[in-house]
Structure 1
Amino acid sequence: MTHPVHKFSSLARPVEPQYPTNLAVLILLPLIAISLFVWLVMNDSAMVEAGKTALLGMLAAFLAWALGREMDPDHNATGFIALGLTVLAVGLGYSLDLLSLAALLFAVRVINRTVGPPARLGDLVTLVLLCLGAAIVDNAWWMPLLGALALAIDEYFERSSLPQRLAIPALFAIGLITLFLGGYADFAALETLVRGWVVAVVVITVLVAINIPNTDEIHSKMDALDTPCDRRRVQIGMAMILMAGVASVLGGQASLTGALAIWAVLAASLAGRNITLEKSADD
């Protein structure tokens, strides 16, 4: 269903409460913030710090749910499982990279076109800024490269606007500049990886990689158009999420745990297809 915001953005997907699963998310988010706050205070966190973490945790949970909806448009359960796993990670004390998560969400929407129309100028500016923030704040130098790849893939499917074509080399340059000037080119951070985490990453990666080609035709319709999402685009969007998760390993253990919301989405996709919830056309 088209929304007034689609006049200005082709990547924004408002959460419409008339859909039961969307209403459930709107109810869950404040409960998540309150629960995290109480949990953190009970575990001796300062009130201000607990409040900040609870709010950031709520945002991470929402972004994980939204990314889960992009990973698996036909199965709402994937988003909810990702949301739950993300809340668990925050509750266990992990600090998540929100800018990387948001940048990935926008990059995937560029590819899979769950809204429908191509990215607008404001969308491209937002994506570039999010990728720049991810590279600088989260040290995720690979995110601008993935953003450039997402735009290039969309260009392959359908000739895009001049701003989008200009954004591709700009993002590529940001990624390379951050890689070399940030001192990450020696990949020394790989030495900090913990073996058990690497095993889990390998298992999830292999299973998701097997799952992607087996994706059925997509029944979910684009938000602003009355046509189903393109299966090939959605599959490539899934692969983009997987690439982001794998890329996080390049930053070492801190980067890997910072990307736990992305891994939550990937893990959730393995179970989400087997759980049926009421379908929601929007998120």
Structure 2
Amino acid sequence: MSHPVHKYSSLARPVEPQYPSNLAVIILLPVIAVSLFLWLALTGADMVDAGTAALLGMLGAFLSWALGREMDPDHNATAFIAMALTVLAVALGYSLDLLSLAALLFAVRVISRTVGPPAKIGDLVALVLLSLGAAIVDNAWWIPLLGALALVIDEVFERGTLIQRLAIPALAATGIIIFISGGYGGFEALGTLIRGWVVAVVVITILVAINIPNTEDIRSNMDVLGSPCDRRRVQLGMAMILFGGLASLLGGQAGLTGALGIWAVLAASLAGRNITLQKSETA
């Protein structure tokens, strides 16, 4: 169903309470914030740090839920499992790279077109700014490159506007310039990766890579157009999420743990689909 915000954005997906899953998220978010605050305060954090971490954790949980919707449009379980895993990560003391998570979410929506229409000027500006912020604040210089790739993929499906085509080299140049100026040239950060984490990443990557091409026709409709989502676009959006997770390894162990919101979505897609299959088999 179209929303007034869609006059200005083709990437925004408002959380409307008339849908049970959306209402659940609206209820859960303040519960998550309060629970994280109490947990962090009880485990030794001071009030300010606990409050800040709780609010950021709530935002991370929402973004992972939203990205989970893009990863698996037909199965609500995936988004909620991703949310739960993200909350667990924050409760264990990990800090999430929220700008990277938000930029990847926008990049995926450019590809998957779950809203429907192509990205508007404001969407492109938001994607560029989020990608720039991710590169500078999160040290995720690869995020602008993924944004550029998303626009290229969209261009293959449907010729975009001049502004969209100009955004491609702008994003690519941003990533390259920040990579060079930041002194990341030798990829030394890869040496900080911890073996156990890498094993988990490899397992998740293999399973997700198997699942993506086996995705059935998407039953969910685009928010504005009302027609079914394009399976190929959704699959490429899934692949973009996987690329985002794998690209985080370029930041070493810090990049990997900062991208736990993305890996939560990837892991949740395996569990969410499995739950759905088990339900269908027992029905």
TM-score band, normalised by shorter chain:
over 0.9
Identity of aligned residues (%): 78
**Does residue 149 of the first structure (1) align with residue 149 of the second (2)?**
yes
**Does residue 56 of the first structure (1) align with residue 61 of the second (2)?**
no
Question: In the alignment, what sits opposite 1:225?
Answer: 225
Flag structure 2 segments of 5+ consecutive residues without an equivalent.
277-283
Once the two structures are superposed, the pairs formed by residues 196-207 of structure 1 within 5 Å of their partners are 196-207=196-207
AA paired with 1:114? Answer: T
Q: Is the 8 A contact 1:75 1:275 kept in 2?
A: no
Cα distance in 2 for residues equivalent to 1:5 and 1:16: 12
Cα distance in 1 for residues equivalent to 2:40 and 2:226: 45
Q: Is the 8 A contact 1:74 1:218 kept in 2?
A: yes
C-alpha RMSD of matched pairs (Å): 0.9
Cα distance in 2 for residues equivalent to 1:218 and 1:274: 16
Once the two structures are superposed, the pairs formed by residues 97-112 of structure 1 within 5 Å of their partners are 97-112=97-112
**What displacement does 1:271 show?**
1.1
**Does residue 116 of the first structure (1) align with residue 116 of the second (2)?**
yes
SS in 2 for 1:221: coil
Question: In the alignment, what sits opposite 2:67?
Answer: 67
AA paired with 2:267? Answer: A
SS in 1 for 2:275: coil
**What displacement does 1:58 show?**
0.1
Cα distance in 2 for residues equivalent to 1:235 and 1:50: 38
Cα distance in 1 for residues equivalent to 2:154 and 2:144: 15
Cα distance in 2 for residues equivalent to 1:255 and 1:116: 32
Superposition misfits of 4+ residues, deviation over 6 angstroms: none
**What displacement does 1:185 show?**
1.6
Cα distance in 2 for residues equivalent to 1:2 and 1:118: 14
Question: In the alignment, what sits opposite 2:168?
Answer: 168
The normalised TM-score by structure 2 is 0.97
SS in 2 for 1:144: helix
Cα distance in 2 for residues equivalent to 1:8 and 1:239: 27
Question: In the alignment, what sits opposite 1:279?
Answer: none
The normalised TM-score by structure 1 is 0.97
Once the two structures are superposed, the pairs formed by residues 120-269 of structure 1 within 5 Å of their partners are 120-269=120-269
Higher relative contact order (CA 8 A, sep 6+): 1
Cα distance in 2 for residues equivalent to 1:110 and 1:239: 13
Cα distance in 2 for residues equivalent to 1:268 and 1:44: 30
Residue deviations 1:172-211 (CA, integer Å, cap 9, x gap): 0001001111111210011111000000000000000000
AA paired with 1:238? Answer: M
**What displacement does 1:226 show?**
1.5
Q: Is the 8 A contact 1:16 1:22 kept in 2?
A: yes
**Does residue 9 of the first structure (1) align with residue 6 of the second (2)?**
no
Cα distance in 2 for residues equivalent to 1:96 and 1:274: 26
**What displacement does 1:229 show?**
0.3
Cα distance in 2 for residues equivalent to 1:206 and 1:183: 31
AA paired with 2:259? Answer: A
Flag structure 1 segments of 5+ consecutive residues without an equivalent.
277-283
Question: In the alignment, what sits opposite 2:40?
Answer: 40
AA paired with 1:21? Answer: S
SS in 1 for 2:184: coil
Q: How many aligned positions are there?
A: 277
**Does residue 90 of the first structure (1) align with residue 90 of the second (2)?**
yes
Question: In the alignment, what sits opposite 1:81?
Answer: 81
AA paired with 1:84? Answer: A
Cα distance in 1 for residues equivalent to 2:118 and 2:236: 16
Q: Is the 8 A contact 1:6 1:12 kept in 2?
A: yes
**What displacement does 1:273 show?**
1.4
Cα distance in 2 for residues equivalent to 1:273 and 1:93: 28
Q: Is the 8 A contact 1:65 1:79 kept in 2?
A: yes
**What displacement does 1:10 show?**
0.1
AA paired with 1:243? Answer: F
SS in 1 for 2:95: coil
Once the two structures are superposed, the pairs formed by residues 24-35 of structure 1 within 5 Å of their partners are 24-35=24-35
